[in-house]
Amino acid sequence: MGPAATESAPDTGLIAVLDEEGRPLPGAELPELADERLIELYGTMCLLRAIDRRLEGLQRMGRIGFFGSARGQEAAVIGSGAAFEARDWIFPALRENGVMLLRGFSLSKYFAHMFGNRQDVLRGRMQPMHFAAREVNQVSWSSTIASQLPHAVGCAWAMKHRGDSAVAAGYVGDGGTSEPDFHAAMNFAGAWKVPVVLICQNNQWAISVPSSRQTASQTFAIKARAYGMPGVRVDGNDLLAVYRETRRAVERARAGSGPTFLELVTFRAGGHSSADDPTRYRDPREEERWQRRDPIARVRAHLEGRGLWDAARQEALDEEQRAALNQAVREAEGAPPPPPLDVVEDVYAVPPPALLAQRRSLAEELRARELGESSAR
C-alpha cells in the first residue's frame, strides 16, 4: 500500500494527503489546521509512543499486568480523535486511549489506571487499557469485541432524540467487523441516521488472523453501502488525511445527515497485546515494509519541510515528555490501593437494600479484623 490520491470510489480507493516522505500529494486538499494545532497533534503522537515504550517496560518488570500498544497507529488515533469536539463522546476499542490524553486527561491518572489504585477514576475495577473518564467524555470498552459500537450508536440515538448537537465516535478493529455487534450497530445507525462516526482501524491483523482472511469484501469501507451510509477508506498513517476525512464525517453527522463509516488503513507494529508474540505468525518483511511508512516520521518530515520543526525542538520535546512520564509513574505507582468499601460505589444511583446490607457486613468484618490486629500488637 502506498499513498495516492483518491482512486475509484472513496470506499474502494485510498485517500491520502501526504506521500511517505511527508510531502503534499499533487492536487491534494490539505485540511484547515493551524500550525500550532498540527504541532500539538504531532507532540501527542510522540507522547503516545513514549507511553507505549514505558508501559512495555513496566509490564516486563511485572509492575503492571497487561497493556495493548498503539505503536504504528498514532496517526489513526490522534488524527481521528482531533476531529471531534470536547462535547462529543468517544467509545474506544483497545488502542484509542490517546484521544483522552489529547483532551487533557492527566498522565498521572492515566498510569494510575494501569496500576488500578486509589487514583484510578475507575477505582481499580476494570482491567488495564479499559480507560474511561466523564471529564473527557470517554466510555470504557468491555473486551467483548465490538460491543462498544452499539453503545456509541445508542448514545448517538439518545442525543438525536433529545436534540443534542453532540456526535459519538465508535472505534473497532478489522477483526471486530466479523462480530454481530458490528453489523447491528451499522444497521441501526444507517436506518435511524444517528449522529455517529464509526471508525475501523484496519491494522492488518486481528491477533493472528490477517485482514485478508477476515472478509471477502473488496474493502472494509465498502460494507457501508449495505447499511445506507458513506464509506471512506483512508491512509491511516497520514495524519492530515485522517483528520480531514474524520472532520468531514463529524460535520456531516452534526448537520443531521447521519453516520459515516471510516476505514483507516494502518499497521499494528507490535503484538496484539503484551501477551502476544507476532513473530509466530507474521512475516518480518511485512513489518519492514510498514516501518518505512511510520506515521510519526511522516508528520515530522512534513513539519520540517515547512520549517516548523527541527532536531533541537525534537530533543526538547523528548526531554519534556520523559520528565513528565517519570513524574506520572512515580505519582501513580505510589498511590495506595482503593478502599475495600469502595467496591459498591458508582454501581447504583440508589444502592438496593441487599447491597447496602453486604456493605455493612464488610465494614463490620474490616473493623473486627483491624481490632484483632491492634490487639495482637
Q: Which residues does 218 contact at the CB level (< 8 Å), separation at least 6? A: 12
Average pLDDT estimate for 113-135? 93
Look at residue 197 and tell me if it is in a domain.
yes
The answer, yes or no, to whether residue 286 has pLDDT greater than 90, is yes
How far is the C-alpha of 157 from the C-alpha of 321, rounded, in Å? Answer: 39
Report pLDDT for 36. 98
Is the predicted pLDDT of residue 171 greater than 70, yes or no? yes
Predicted confidence band of residue 347 (pLDDT cuts 50, 70, 90):
confident
In a domain, 179, yes or no: yes
Q: What is the mean pLDDT of residues 29-45?
A: 97
* Claim to verify: residue 309 and residue 362 sit in the same structural domain: no
Instruction: Specify the pLDDT at position 348.
Output: 87
For residue range 228-281, list pLDDT tens digits in order. 999 999 999 999 999 999 999 999 999 999 999 999 999 999 999 998 899 999
Checking if the pLDDT of 49 tops 50, the result is yes
pLDDT digits (tens, 9 = 90+) for 125-144: 888 999 999 999 999 998 88
CATH number of the domain bearing residue 288: 3.40.50.970
Are residues 368 and 269 located together in one domain of the fold? no
pTM of the model: 0.93
Whole-number Å distance between alpha carbons of 95 and 122: 18
Q: How many CB atoms lie within 10 A of CB 95?
A: 26
Is the confidence at residue 7, as pLDDT, over 80?
A: no
Structural domain boundaries, residue 353 = 340-376
Asked whether residue 284 falls in the same domain as residue 321, the answer is yes
Mean pLDDT rounded to a whole number for the chain: 94
Residue 11 inside a domain? The answer is no
- Mean of pLDDT values over 282-303: 95
Q: Which residues have a catalytic role annotated?
A: 268, 272, 281
pLDDT at 376: 67
Percent of the chain surpassing pLDDT 70: 97
Measure the CA–CA gap between 185 and 123, rounded to whole angstroms. 30
Chain Cα centroid distance, residue 215: 23
5 has a pLDDT exceeding 70: no
Contact 160, 191 (CB under 8 A): no
Q: How confident is the model at residue 1 (pLDDT cuts 50, 70, 90)?
A: very low
Residues 239 and 353 in one domain: no
The answer to whether residues 254 and 125 belong to one domain is yes
Residue 361 within any structural domain of the chain: yes
Statement: residue 206 has pLDDT above 50:
yes
Kindly state whether residue 7 falls inside one of the protein's structural domains: no
